[in-house]
Amino acid sequence: MDPLTHLLDGPRARRAFALRVVMSQNWSIGVRDKAPLTVIAMMSGQAWLVAGNGQVQLRSGDVAIVRGPEPYIVADDPMRAPDVFIEPGQRCTSLSGEDVGPDMSRGIRTWGNGVSGETTMLIGTYETDAQIGAAVTNALPQVAVVPAGQISASLLGFLEAEVTTDAPGQGSTIDRLLDVLLVHSIRAWAVLNPETAHGWLAGANDPMVFQALKYFHESPEKPWSLESLARLLNISRATLACRFRTCVGEPPMTYLTNWRMLLVSELLADSQLTTAQIAAKVGYGGPFALSTAFKRRFGASPTAYRNCNYATSGAAPVSTSP
């Protein structure tokens, strides 16, 4: 199971904040919520997204994926200073720090500086992120833009309808729709930017590396070695190691270890699984070997990690690889 598939099928430890934003001219929003990931879908009008040392114009139909926690600005003019700020917890404040959220509420999950406006955006913010989710998004730049026409207008319309309507089970429905939008956006961006993608996402650029990644993702429990993988791919160990490292950015066995540890971090969310069972699922001989490798990666034993991260919130901290 590759990271994108796992994002949809695997255990989730995130709560998405969804909002429809309607803005009239002369506006600028400073986002400093420190959220790990935000998806911005332009439904109408245009906006500028300013992040780091760069800026990009978003037009109707575009979808932008923004990686946190660095701050960024969304505005109708890239030179306009923010007059509203989004703080951690999605608290909206003025320049002076006053809470202006209630003043800008425009209905069910709708927010803006007026009842109507030429610019409409759907915002989906993941305020917490599972390890596998981090593995997915860390293959992207800070801002990844998918131009109009690459994402189904029906999907965006369906999401907008769900965001602005109260109905039973709506929270989970919005989460799943945002997941689907994110996956479609990542896939579209990777196809359009093969030279920019890195990590596991870049593996699709090399058929041999792609197949190696597929083996790792689908069967992490197997006793893989560089020799056994090279034999299966009918290629020399040296060639495999070179091409894999060039494409993905790290050696095959290092990637496999990282992938196994990310899987363990999420399997620990299931309190019914013992460390021995988890070890078997990811290719470790027993709980002691698993604990040693896991502690080296996360600085805590599997049991301590489970108690700290899943006993209350159910969320795992963000990681940086693979």
**Top-confidence residue, 3 or 161:** 161
Whether 133 shows a pLDDT value over 70: the answer reads: no
Side-chain half-sphere of 310: how many Cα atoms within 13 Å?
A: 19
**Residue among 300, 254, 314 at smallest CA distance from 131:** 314
Looking at residue 54, the DSSP 8-state letter turns out to be E
Rounded to an integer, the average pLDDT of 26-42 is 93
Q: What is the pLDDT of residue 316?
A: 39
Sign of CA dihedral 129, 132, 133, 138: positive
Do 144 and 51 touch, CB atoms closer than 8 A?
Answer: no
Left (φ > 0), alpha (ψ -120 to 50) or beta: where does 145 sit? beta
Q: What is the pLDDT of residue 89?
A: 87
Do 287 and 248 touch, CB atoms closer than 8 A?
Answer: no
Average pLDDT, the chain: 86
- Number of Cβ within 10 Å of residue 223's Cβ equals 8
The model's confidence at residue 115, banded by pLDDT at 50, 70 and 90, is confident
261-265, long-range: CB < 8 A, 24+ apart: 261/293, 261/294, 261/297, 261/298, 262/131, 262/132, 262/135, 262/319, 262/322, 263/132, 263/220, 264/290, 264/294, 264/302, 265/131, 265/298, 265/305, 265/316, 265/319
Over residues 172-215, the pLDDT tens digits come to 788 888 888 988 998 899 888 887 777 788 887 889 998 999 99
The model's confidence at residue 47, banded by pLDDT at 50, 70 and 90, is very high
The model's confidence at residue 4, banded by pLDDT at 50, 70 and 90, is low
Q: What is the pLDDT of residue 212?
A: 93
Whole-number percent of the chain with pLDDT over 90: 52
Q: What is the pLDDT of residue 15?
A: 59
For the record, the structure tokens of 219 come out as: 């069967």
The model's confidence at residue 105, banded by pLDDT at 50, 70 and 90, is confident
Task: Catalogue all structural domains in the chain, each as residue range(s) with its CATH number.
Answer: 3-192 (2.60.120.280), 199-309 (1.10.10.60)
Rounded to an integer, the average pLDDT of 71-87 is 95
- Give the CA distances from residue 220 to residues 1, 185, 200, in Å, rounded to whole numbers and listed in that order: 9, 27, 15
**Top-confidence residue, 64 or 37:** 64
The model's confidence at residue 266, banded by pLDDT at 50, 70 and 90, is confident
Q: What is the pLDDT of residue 313?
A: 45
Q: What is the pLDDT of residue 260?
A: 92
Whether 70 shows a pLDDT value over 90: the answer reads: yes
Over residues 153-164, the pLDDT tens digits come to 999 999 999 998
Q: What is the pLDDT of residue 176?
A: 85
